[in-house]
Amino acid sequence: METGGNSLPSGPDGVKRKVSYFYDPEVGNYYYGQGHAMKPHRIRMTHALLAHYGLLQHMQVLKPTPARDRDLCKFHADDYVNFLRAITPETQQDQLRLLKRFNVGEDCPVFDGLYAFCQTYAGGSVGGALKLNQGGCDIAINWAGGLHHAKKCEASGFCYVNDIVLGILELLKVHERVLYVDIDIHHGDGVEEAFYTTDRVMTVSFHKFGDYFPGTGDIRDIGYGKGKYYSLNVPLDDGIDDESYQSLFKPIIGKVMEVYRPGAVVLQCGADSLSGDRLGCFNLSIRGHAECVRFIRSFNVPLLLVGGGGYTIRNVARCWCYETGVALGIEVDDKMPQHEYYEYFGPDYNLHVAPSNMENKNSRQLLDEIRERLLDYLSKLQHAPSAQFQERPPDTQLLEDDEDQDDGDDRWDPDSDMDSDDDRKPLPGRVKRECIESEPKNLAPTMMAIDEPSIKVEQDNLNKSSDQHTDMNS
């Protein structure tokens, strides 16, 4: 296997990328509840590492505009969005029928600020897609996003709103074809389902398969109708390591890029596929996980990076910090700088952690069979599909600070970004002001030749099985 992101090449892939990073300082305050595995605090920990490693000063730092009802309803059902907006911990006992209908309760609890949380993380992914569409950056990052299980009419697997689908719909306003790649340990079922019958979005998910949430993602699930062969699933077993993972990832994604030729890529970087995850059972190192980012980055296609699962939160922060460096083309030191969450990373206080000695249950023969079967599917795609636009929807308009009046090389001071965000003052001549993405305008839907996100035709109810417990979700 090639060395991971710790040794970025000096060739074409070594060229610096313009990166826009979306972060809301409030996101770490949301709390799913005592004992729940999903902890938004990990986003704040990641941000602290980015600040103290000095990476923020190499990116444009943006506070996302919260997604509005009508933005969320571009994919989600109106009554579901209305429910999310209205439900509170105090009123949930009066709404038991709706809680059951929308699958909100145990794995997806009602907590204070739930709807604002959804608006925040969805706003980051839509804002990132918009920034890419406008040519404002080469790579957009929203680590708060990546909640890939949410469905049109229900919550699932700790996910309420599917920010990925909403981001892809924004990208489709400009790009004829969008590729979605998912390296979370759980199958990216919500995104696959949304685009299962269209050739304008190809989905590729690498995941644990077999008696594991959500129970979908068989290698035989390849799309339907116009979408046949545009959904690919890579089913894996426990203990897969870096070398085995890349023996599938690079040839499959390389062939996808060759035959599909996407105009933009969305990469879901769920960190529960790392070794030692609280809910996971893979054995990837941070470098091996980040190699997926580096490989996709090397194609020089507009790229949206989003988060996802990850429940050993110190390792989630390590991973997404390192992958931000890979996106920027900057190698960060293994020795961690002092910061407010430093004690989380003892006793070694290093960025990287060694994978374990767990057994890799993915035999060479199994991996070869998976790779050959998926490459065979891809061989059935004669050429990249071409979509005829009847009329392109208008770009979402976001007002920002006039950057033409700023020094283009100005960036955040890493220390100032950790101060109280409301009281933050820019440092003249050196610090880029944090832009608050303003209210999008002119979002009325316009007809275009795109299959609407649809319910998977062959949907079974595996993801509704009775063993959907908190310790099985992402």
Known binding site for a divalent metal cation: residues? Answer: 184, 186, 272
- For residue 225, what are the contacts with CB-CB under 8 A and spacing of at least 6? 197, 457
- The answer for 141, left when phi > 0, alpha when psi is -120 to 50, beta otherwise, is beta
Inter-residue contact 82 to 161 (CB < 8 Å): no
How many Cα atoms are found within 13 Å in the side-chain-facing hemisphere of 437? 31
Residue ranges at the known binding site: 107, 157, 184, 186, 272, 311
Pairing of strands 201-208, 178-182: parallel
Amino acid at 247: S
Residue ranges at the known binding site for substrate: 107, 157, 311
Closest CA to 180 of 5, 306, 286, 74: 306
Residue 75 main-chain phi, psi, to 5 deg: -125, -45
Number of Cβ within 10 Å of residue 258's Cβ equals: 12
CA 122 – CA 397 distance, rounded (Å): 17
Catalytic residue, candidates 149, 175, 207, 289: 149
CA 419 – CA 422 distance, rounded (Å): 9
Residue 149 annotated in active site: yes
- For residue 212, what are the contacts with CB-CB under 8 A and spacing of at least 6? 186, 472
Which residues are known catalytic residues?
Answer: 149
